[in-house]
Amino acid sequence: MYQLGDDKLEVRELLVKAFASAWEHSDKHVDRDTYINSSINVIDSLQVGPEMIYGEEGQGLLEGELDHLPDLLRADGMWVYYEVPAENFFILTWMTDAEKAEAKVASLQGEEGSLACVVDLKQEWHREA
């Protein structure tokens, strides 16, 4: 389990923190738990690299777990979350510091139909069974 200040965190934890952060920047038309749970459930595939995650949405997790969810990623910088719901994908990109992350978010926010934010690693959520 990730603790603030750790230098690594699991892919699954980063995803939860990213979806929780995205909800904070959304129109909040659904409650937070539903938003996070449905975001997790619609992941169809993940491509995981040391400084990037690309996720495609589709029919979602019908059974089992996605590969790479327990993999460890960097937690010593900042992560930027970017999604285009109409195109069914999201990207998480690692940045070296907050200034670069905020600049990246600012450059992405002008794109119509997208959501971009810095991931708040203090976000927590526990999936109900």
pLDDT-derived band at 118 (thresholds 50, 70, 90) equals: very high
- In this structure, is the dihedral angle defined by the CA atoms of residues 86, 64, 47 and 68, taken in order, positive or negative? positive
What are 46's two structure tokens?
């993940």
What confidence tens digit (pLDDT) does each residue in 2-33 have? 788 888 999 999 999 999 999 999 888 999 99
What confidence tens digit (pLDDT) does each residue in 34-86 have? 999 889 888 988 999 989 999 998 877 656 667 888 899 999 999 999 999 88
- Amino acid 59: pLDDT: 76
- Amino acid 112: pLDDT: 87
Residue extents of the structural domains in the chain: 8-58+69-119
Using the predicted structure, report yes or no on whether residue 129 has a pLDDT greater than 60. no
- Amino acid 110: pLDDT: 81
Q: 3-state SS string over 7-74?
A: CEEEHHHHHHHHHHHHHHCCCCCCCHHHHHHHHHHCEEEEEEECCEEEEEECCCCCCCCCCCCCCEEE
CA distance 95 to 91: 13
- The position carrying tokens 């389990």 is 1
- Amino acid 40: pLDDT: 87
